[in-house]
Amino acid sequence: MKDNIQKFLTASERLTIEKTVKQAEATTSGEIVVMAVWSSSNYPAAIMATSGAISLMLAIGGTLLLRNENMWMFLALFALCFIVAHEAVKRSPALKRPFVNRKEIAEEVEEAAIRAFYLRKVHETRDRTGILIYISLFEHSVRVLADSGIDAKVGKHAWEEVVATIIKGIGEKRQGEAICKAVEQCGKLLSQHFPRRSDDRNELDDVMIIG
């Protein structure tokens, strides 16, 4: 699914984001990590439900077309259609979207963002001032996770503004510019509370993570 992310952000835009991260970190001891993934979950239940619904309609249509009301014929058609539909749904996210509810999306994105926060060691900075900007494309969702050091000094509203900046930019088809602006917002917040130290070092890679 990396191809989808590469369509979402060009190579040039990703390089600009990485450059912006470096610039934002130049005035603070904090660290900013930007991560974009195609989806936060495979949503297996939605795949099964979508495949089942498609297969049921095709099997009913097939038995009517063949004018064969034999139950075994219906089950055979259903099984065959299910196999094909299951593979098709896995490759076409738009098909399963109607079967994924908002609560499930919120839970999966939150869980995936937290997992990435720890796997990418954003929580291991010296002053606990790491920030993860997590973007999940399938869910049209953005999360900003801040470590305890900075989160204790910055209100929730500040992170909501960062999220809103990215979401608005994506809606206006200027996602690269919006992510850079969000990085700059995070940099300003970090520099206010955690200015750069004389012995500061880059604790986390500035390269944008493609999940």
Give the pLDDT of the chain (211 residues) as one tens digit per residue.
556 777 899 999 999 999 999 999 999 999 999 999 999 998 988 999 999 999 999 989 988 888 877 888 889 999 999 999 999 898 887 888 888 888 999 999 999 999 999 999 999 998 899 999 999 999 999 999 999 888 888 878 889 999 999 999 999 999 999 999 999 999 999 999 999 988 888 889 999 998 7
Pair (158, 179) in one structural domain: yes
Measured CA to CA, the distance from residue 172 to residue 98 in angstroms comes to: 24
Pair (132, 199) in one structural domain: yes
Return the pLDDT at 24: 95
Pair (93, 176) in one structural domain: no
Pair (129, 183) in one structural domain: yes
- Among residues 56, 84, 99, which one ends one of the domains? 99
Q: Is the pTM of this model over 0.85?
A: yes
Cβ neighbours for 44, distance < 8 A, ≥ 6 positions apart: none
Return the pLDDT at 1: 57
Q: Following DSSP, what letter does each residue of 93-112 receive, concatenated?
A: HHHHGGGS-HHHHHHHHHHH
Q: Give the number of domains in the chain.
A: 2
Residue 73 is part of which domain span? 44-99
Pair (92, 156) in one structural domain: no
Return the pLDDT at 21: 97
